[in-house]
Amino acid sequence: MCLADVNPEAVQARQRTVAQNRLAERVAVYHSDNLDRIPATEQWDLVVGNPPHFVDILPGELRFDDQDWKLHRRFFATIRRFLKPGGIIALLENNRGSTAETFRNMIEAAGLSIVSCTIARVDARPILVPTIFGIGRRGDAVPDWARLPVPSRVPTDLHCPPAHTTASRIL
């Protein structure tokens, strides 16, 4: 397992947890802005991310604001080299701040494709509509574990495109 964060306090907390649980041989922890300080030797079957969800909420606040989607652009431009064949990226986004279409060009330019788009739940709070985008290398086989059930009808106001989880290859 590989854990990374731009916040040094979060990195220190993860390092303490790894040490306390004697996981140093199984878990690597990096202080990294996006993927900038991750060694090229890291290769993953699954990448899980929770990037900032908005371009105009609380400017300058790292947890929320990704001005002009710069963080997303850098991530999509560099993640492919870390993915093993058949690897999947699961990104938690927020449909109130972006949709799959917001990122489609960035994803496709990186040689990746959207595999699935799942609305986690519609929360009563107006700022939170969690959506999980599944992303993989274009042309790779979709692993069985990544085949999520596709709802028969997705509310149109949530902007989730049809998922391709029944395909045998990533479209």
pTM: 0.78
Domain covering 43-171: architecture: 3-Layer(aba) Sandwich (3.40)
pLDDT of 2 reads 95
User: What pLDDT is stored for residue 56 in this prediction?
Assistant: 61
- Does the pLDDT value for residue 52 go beyond 80? no
Burial of 25 (0-12, 13-18, 19+ CB in 10 A): exposed
Q: For 115-163, how does the pLDDT look when each residue is reduced to its tens digit (9 = 90+)?
A: 887 776 555 555 556 778 889 999 998 888 776 554 444 444 444 444 4
Q: How far is CA 142 from CA 112, 121, 126, 166, in A?
A: 12, 24, 34, 9
Let me know if 72 is exposed, middle or buried by CB neighbors in 10 A (0-12, 13-18, 19+): buried
| Predicted confidence (pLDDT) per residue in 63-89, tens digit | 567 888 899 999 999 999 999 999 999
Cα Rg of the chain, angstroms? 16
Quote the tokens at residue 65.
């604001």
The answer to whether the beta carbons of residues 14 and 6 sit under 8 Å apart is: no
Q: Where in the chain is the domain with CATH 3.40.50.150?
A: 43-171
Mean pLDDT of the chain: 79
